Amino acid sequence: MRSIEKEDSLFKNIDKQLKANRRILKDFNKAGKATVRKEVLIGEGFNPKYFTHYWKAKNGNVYIFCYDFGYMKKTENGKPACRQGRDKYVLVQWQEYMN
């Protein structure tokens, strides 16, 4: 029985983090597209290890999604765009053309 309880607890914790990630991405993405420092999202409780799916654009960019809100690590000239360890994410909302 303890094994089943542990499993239920694990699933509940994962579900809780996925929902938190979605809420955080939504809160920082009011206009449909935004750029936010990774550390700001993490400070709000965001954990990039938890996601529901990804979408690869025709140009090769990969967006990671938590349900209908997603993010991609920002790059400049094909390299990660970071200054002094300040990674940035481009936030997006799922669009019909992504199906």
Residue 99: pLDDT band (50, 70, 90) is: confident
pTM of the predicted structure, to 2 decimals: 0.84
Instruction: Evaluate if residue 76 carries a pLDDT over 80.
Output: no
Alpha carbons 49 and 54: distance in angstroms, whole number: 12
Domain residue ranges in the chain: 2-98
Tokens matching residue 40 = 């700001």
Q: What is the pLDDT of residue 81?
A: 56
C-beta pairs of 13-20 under 8 Å, 24+ apart in sequence: 14/50, 17/47, 17/50, 18/50, 18/51, 18/52, 18/66, 18/67, 20/45, 20/46, 20/47
Task: Report how many helices (DSSP H) and strands (DSSP E) the chain contains, helices first.
Answer: 2, 7
